[in-house]
Structure 1
């Protein structure tokens, strides 16, 4: 069963997702003074980026029915990023007892569980307004690769990295190869899985161009 953008069900879950993402982010920002975390560190997390991006995409979709031809690529990239945020968190960042648990803090619940699930459902169940050109999905890797490069530049400047598996001081430069390689492979596989799912979920929409 596929839904349209203006379906009350779709509007409802997108609204819930937007509010959850923005409220969780506002909660984190309000707690910066309590936790002592620097704003430059907080906004250095891929989780923050992916949640803000998917919320922005959904806001756009709610307020602007007519969208440019390239918008479906943006929607696909945002979906891939947030879904992979949830997977990478579960596999590489979360404590063992948190991997399958929903009994975690609200911000983690929103950013790493609720938003990835809602985004995956939205991608699979809502008809695309424009055909998705799957052969262009490689462009979705530009941002994750750029993010990795910026993380290591930042580490060279002040020694801070957002995630332990990216830390040269802990893993050594050669030790970054397997951990970073796993993440990059996961992103490549995840990005093309998301892109190809548009063909499976919306065969007529995706059939114009591969």
Structure 2
């Protein structure tokens, strides 16, 4: 009989790791909110950043995983887990490649919230995705829907900046930085392409790491109708 993979949903190291992820994300965002209040930053700007939204999703997702067993979650839950993992990981990569100043990329003198949300959380949830298999198999065709949120974020940011208050959360979304709306084709296209590739890599890893033993072990542990009634077929 094949041994069960040690890093499963209810394994003590996995539960402990997920608690650490939640505490790290909660503490980082709480610190952010304190700084927001002190600096006078409008909440409508703070919570409009993709990284902030992705980290809030991580908190909700991991609290959900800590609070419910795999078999009690919706059929689409593993795709939700994969999508949020991709958002968190890609937010960290986009920051490091496009947004961070050159001296910040490898520096450890940056503030805690920056390090937590752009470095710690991305690799922590990425490692969780790599080591803890999904309960159901990821379908790559359905993983294309993971792009819905990044595209919606992009459209919402442009509508707000272009029609409401002129504020854009990132330079690659700001037409004023690139000489007009047509100048956004290349930088925005690069980010969307990176997200598309990254999402399918995350989905592919999830599909490869899937173990049927996770689902079959759960089913095998349930008593069958005949085993629960040992004398059902015997004569009275």
Give distance in 1, aligned partners of 2:27 and 2:84: 19
Q: Which has the higher mean CA deviation after the structures are superposed, 147-156 or 128-137?
A: 128-137
Aligned to 2:43: 39
- Asked whether 1:144 is paired with 2:146, we answer no
Alignment correspondent of 1:194: 202
CA distance in 2, matches of 1:85, 1:183: 10
Per-residue CA deviations over 1:67-110 (Å, capped at 9, x if unaligned) read 11100010000000000000000011111111123332110111
User: Which residue number corresponds to residue 85 of structure 1?
Assistant: 91
Aligned to 1:16: 20
Runs of 4+ in 1 over 3 A off after TM superposition: 203-206
Matches within 5 A, 1:49-198: 49-65=53-69, 66-156=72-162, 157-171=164-178, 172-198=180-206
CA contact (8 A) 2:135 2:210 kept: no
Deviations 1:173-192 (A, max 9, x none): 12211110010000000000
Aligned to 2:182, the other structure's residue is in SS state coil
Q: TM-score, normalised on structure 1?
A: 0.93
User: Offset at 1:8?
Assistant: 1.5
Aligned residues: 206
TM-score by length of 2: 0.83
Larger Rg: 2
Structure 1: how far apart are the matches of 2:192 and 2:84?
16
Structure 1 CA distance for aligned equivalents of residues 32 and 59 of structure 2:
16
How far apart, in 2, do the equivalents of 1:12 and 1:103 lie? Answer: 28
Aligned CA RMSD, in angstroms, stands at 1.5
Note the alpha carbon deviations across 1:161-203, whole angstroms, 9 max, x for none. Answer: 1111111111121221111001000000000000000122226
The alpha-carbon deviation at position 2 of structure 1 amounts to: 5.2
The structure whose RCO (Cα within 8 Å, separation 6+) is larger is 1
